[in-house]
Amino acid sequence: MLTSTITSTSAVSSAAGAISMTTGTGLPEYGVLAVIALIALLSVKEILSASEKWSIDLNHSLNMGIGPLLLAFTAIVVFKVAEIIY
């Protein structure tokens, strides 16, 4: 597994002392929204599949939203596990 951690450090001297700022690259903090959207779409798909409104077109439409969110969820899990391990 290849993970990349890039940090940039900046230090500014002033009369009061030095200030250090570090930023890390990775997944944005809004990953929770992607997980919530994935859960919502999966719930809607499950509920609608049992109703009379279900059609193959509706199935394909929901899958177009679920697929990328599932990929994002997988990436979030992998990065969080890698963050804990390393």
Please write the tens of the pLDDT for every residue from 32-75: 899 999 999 999 999 999 999 899 999 999 999 999 999 999 99
pTM: 0.64
Residue 8: its H or E element? strand 7-13
Task: State yes or no: pLDDT of 16 exceeds 80.
Answer: no
Please tell me which residue, 17 or 77, carries the higher pLDDT value: 77
- HSE on the CB side for 55, CA within 13 Å? 4
* pLDDT for the residue numbered 7: 47
Instruction: Give the least confident one: 5-19, 28-42, 70-84.
Output: 5-19
What SS3 class is residue 7? strand
The string of DSSP codes covering 38-79 is: HHHHHHHHHHHHTSTT--HHHHHHHHHHHHHHHHHHHHHHHH
